[in-house]
Structure 1
Amino acid sequence: MLLGFVLLFAYGFIVWLVFFKLRWLKFSIAWGFFSTFFVLHLMIIFLIGLRYVTPTSTEARVIQHTIQLTPRLSEPTLVTAVLVEPNVHVKKGTPLFQFDRRIYEAKVRQLEAQLAQATQNVLIMKADIQVTSEKIIKLKSELDYASYQEKLSVNLAKRGAGPEEDAQKWGAQVAANSAAIKEAQAEEQRSRLKYQSEIGGVNTTVASIQAELDQARFYLDNTLMVAPEDGYIINLQVRPGMVSGDVRFGAIASFICDADRFVLAQFFQENLKYVKPGQPVELALDLYPGQIWSGRVKAVWQGSGAGQMLPSGMLPNFNAVPGETPQGQFAVAITLDDPDQAKFPIGTQGRAAIYTSTSSSFDVLRKVAIRSYTWYNWLYPFSL
């Protein structure tokens, strides 16, 4: 930049000396055209230096993370109380909205009763196994007795000492006892399978009801919505009597977080040639006329929507872009040095200047330009 100033002042001194002081030549229209042409070419030095060494953005905005507060409830639920005021700062965990708890409390009580019953049924199934085992032992004893009586009746009938009907009767009894034993054994196996049906060492019926109970308790806990982080709500529209929870993607309020606030500035692509994370930044925010805020480059966003191609069955259609059409811009994330981030509401806009070199004399011109802008904000826009 110094070379540009030297050349500019040197040429001005020569013109003054030759045409006005010593009057060696007459200053004509041709000489005026040549001088203008020469000076304009010298100004290119300052233009290039300011664009690449100290790039500036005319569109910088304070960006903040927001959380869409959506009720996590299983069915339409009445809002019974609004426990927060709009634009009032709250801490993480502060109650915000209370929903009707009655239907969820009833569901929890119902499942608690079912869980107690299922737990008791496990003990009953264990006792059923024991009962069936004893029944099998009894039936086997009866089978042994019936088999003995059948054999005795058959021998007596062969010798003519007893009726043939007794032998047939005890044969039928043996068959009945054998079938009863098989039936009891099947019942025992069924009871044992029910009792031994486990997942993770817990009976499957108990585990299933426990899972339903945990889900019901989850919904019951969510009848009280609390602040997910430190922050505040703006444009609060929720009122008691409102029904929510029927549409899962429908948020009832927007929560503005305090943490991780940053400025997003848009730059022309070629101006970012030398921009790197960590470089110093100055910001002139329209909210604070006459003030300059310092910051640092956090990141240069690597891409924009102009380069995105969405999956579809259509082939890309490339059209020539007119040369006068403005080119796309890239965004640069900037962190502010001021520890009190509450000074910078979400959406605050202004201008940003990045200083890519700590020893460049172009910084002076950029500092003058951005300070002129912030002082001009005292008057613009004109309103009374």
Structure 2
Amino acid sequence: MIAFMLTIYVAVVVLLFKMKLVKPNPYPIALILVAGVFVIGGPAVAWTLSAPVSPRVVTTQYVVQLVPYVKGQVAKVHAQANVPMKKGDLLLEINPTPYQNALDQATAQLQASREGLKQAEAGVDVAKASVASAAAGVQQATAAVGQSKAVVSNALASIKRAKAGIASAEAGVSKAKAADDLAKTEEQIAVNLQKTDAGAISALRVTQSVQSRQAADAALQAAETGVNEAQAALLQAEAGLSQSQAAEQQAAAGLVAAQAVQQQADASESQAMLGVKIAASKVQAAEAQVSDAQFNLEQCKMLAPADGYVVNWTVQEGTMLVPMPLAAAGTFINTEQTFIVASYPQNWLMNVESGDDVELVLNPFPGRLFKGKVDQVIPATGEGQFDPSKSVPLASQVGSHGFLAVKILLDQDQTIPSLPLGAGGTVAIYTDHGKPVHIISKVAIRMQKWLLYIMPS
């Protein structure tokens, strides 16, 4: 475009000289040269900074390397190279037999694990019942110990009462013996008086003395019998205490045994619950194995990751595929999103911002003008990257060609053909600065649109 402007300027100057409107003297010629610099150079500078045009354009699309997740022989190929496909369409099938067998084995293991979990849960129920039974046994043994202690207390009270009875009976015996001795003495006195002097005491008095002595003998005998009975009651109470203490010891032993049974039942319950946890973990592990086996089986069918087509598709039935990036089955071109990337000198992009209007022509479509927007100026270039290496970077290799890439998105309200990957073209960006010189880029881009018919790029 600058050459076109320079040609027009030269033609105008030549015309002025031909028509002798300007004399070919040094001063007019110098003035014309200086004017040419300002007339052409000024708009050219404003043009490149306000509406830059670049022929360094390429269409880009996402590319996916078709690497299988599982290894195996290809059983059937469904996709054809360079034929458009929809997302989810079947590309090829890998022989699923080993993965189906793995899934069947994992499913059987899962079923066995679930049965083991059921048995462990049943064992927990049995253990809980044993714990409840043992707790009831402990309660019964505790009650028996309390009851036996009460019996021992009663027996001790009986012994105490029996000893008190013996003391009372012995006191009665002493009293009865004293009364008996007194009666015997009175009787002896009465008998002796009667023998010495029959008139000194009456026969009635003697008889009464004899009866009193007999009554005292009977009372003494009764008191002695009471002592014997009290002693027998004490012996019986002591025997009852011995039995009660034996029963208490037996009840205590029963309580200890019941507590031991309860501890054993608790231990069995804990062990059964641990068994449930182990069985549950085995079920989870088996479920994970089933999921993995199911996933691997599903991966035997390679599907299209998006709308697009496959290239470098040389895989055939019987081909052995392995899950290695260096051994891809083919390359998939994603046509859902197409980006335009243009390269510009860095100083030309000082006024370019996201959202600026774009006009572009693409080499595969001469005569068509496409519109779009600047998505972003990519703020990086590989020339500034230094990869980690054992070698020190060479200073002579440091430098930049001074270009940055601009990502462009086409407007969706226009008919956009299927753009081939790697297609070139020419792009014009219209910034918010220097709008009067935008016309230069508009003319240039439209000239390029028609020149593609006769000057293919």
Q: TM-score, normalised on structure 2?
A: 0.61
Residue 376 (structure 2) pairs with residue 299 (structure 1): yes
Residue 300 (structure 2) pairs with residue 223 (structure 1): yes
Which amino acid letter does the alignment assign opposite residue 266 of structure 1?
Answer: S
The alpha-carbon distance between structure 1 residues 135 and 299, as it changes in their structure 2 partners (threshold 3 A), is closer
Partner of 1:109: 104
Partner of 2:179: none
Q: 1:365 aligns with which of 427, 440, 457?
A: 440
Q: 1:126 & 1:133 partners in 2: Cα distance?
A: 11
Structure 1, unmatched stretches of 5+, are 142-178
Residue 25 (structure 2) pairs with residue 28 (structure 1): yes
CA deviation after TM superposition for structure 1 residue 249, in Å: 5.7
Q: 1:258 aligns with which of 335, 338, 345?
A: 335
Q: Helix, strand or coil for the counterpart of 1:281? A: strand
Q: 2:124 & 2:16 partners in 1: Cα distance?
A: 117
- Identity among equivalent pairs (%): 27
Partner of 2:69: 72
Residue 199 (structure 2) pairs with residue 125 (structure 1): no
Q: 1:42 aligns with which of 30, 39, 42?
A: 39
Q: 1:213 aligns with which of 274, 286, 290?
A: 290
Q: Helix, strand or coil for the counterpart of 1:236? A: coil
The alpha-carbon distance between structure 1 residues 130 and 373, as it changes in their structure 2 partners (threshold 3 A), is closer
Q: 1:315 & 1:345 partners in 2: Cα distance?
A: 41
Cα deviation 1:286-320 (Å, max 9, x = unaligned): 11223322222121112222333445687777569
Which deviates more, 360-369 or 217-226?
A: 360-369
Contact between 1:301 and 1:332, CA under 8 Å: does it hold in 2?
Answer: yes
Q: 1:268 & 1:215 partners in 2: Cα distance?
A: 52
Which deviates more, 251-260 or 336-345?
A: 336-345
Partner of 1:152: none
Residue 257 (structure 2) pairs with residue 195 (structure 1): no
Q: 2:325 & 2:418 partners in 1: Cα distance?
A: 34
Which deviates more, 179-188 or 308-317?
A: 179-188
Contact between 1:289 and 1:374, CA under 8 Å: does it hold in 2?
Answer: yes
Partner of 1:354: 429
Contact between 2:372 and 2:410, CA under 8 Å: does it hold in 1?
Answer: yes
Residue 407 (structure 2) pairs with residue 333 (structure 1): yes
Q: 1:131 & 1:276 partners in 2: Cα distance?
A: 76
CA deviation after TM superposition for structure 1 residue 42, in Å: 2.9
Q: 1:345 aligns with which of 404, 420, 423?
A: 420
Partner of 1:241: 318
Which amino acid letter does the alignment assign opposite residue 114 of structure 2?
Answer: T
CA deviation after TM superposition for structure 1 residue 184, in Å: 9.2
Which deviates more, 61-70 or 368-377?
A: 368-377
Q: 1:378 & 1:70 partners in 2: Cα distance?
A: 41
CA deviation after TM superposition for structure 1 residue 93, in Å: 1.6
Q: 1:114 & 1:67 partners in 2: Cα distance?
A: 37
Contact between 2:17 and 2:24, CA under 8 Å: does it hold in 1?
Answer: no
Contact between 1:284 and 1:374, CA under 8 Å: does it hold in 2?
Answer: yes
Moved over 6 A (4+): 130-138, 179-188, 312-317
Partner of 1:153: none
Cα deviation 1:177-232 (Å, max 9, x = unaligned): xx99999987765443122347xxxx001101111110110011111111222222
Q: Helix, strand or coil for the counterpart of 1:118? A: helix
Structure 2, unmatched stretches of 5+, are 138-259
Q: TM-score, normalised on structure 1?
A: 0.72
Which deviates more, 266-275 or 281-290?
A: 281-290
Q: 2:273 & 2:16 partners in 1: Cα distance?
A: 112
Q: 1:228 & 1:180 partners in 2: Cα distance?
A: 65
Contact between 1:72 and 1:248, CA under 8 Å: does it hold in 2?
Answer: no
The alpha-carbon distance between structure 1 residues 115 and 41, as it changes in their structure 2 partners (threshold 3 A), is same
Higher Rg of the two aligned structures: 2
Cα deviation 1:15-73 (Å, max 9, x = unaligned): 769x924x8xx523564345324323432112202211110112111111122222112
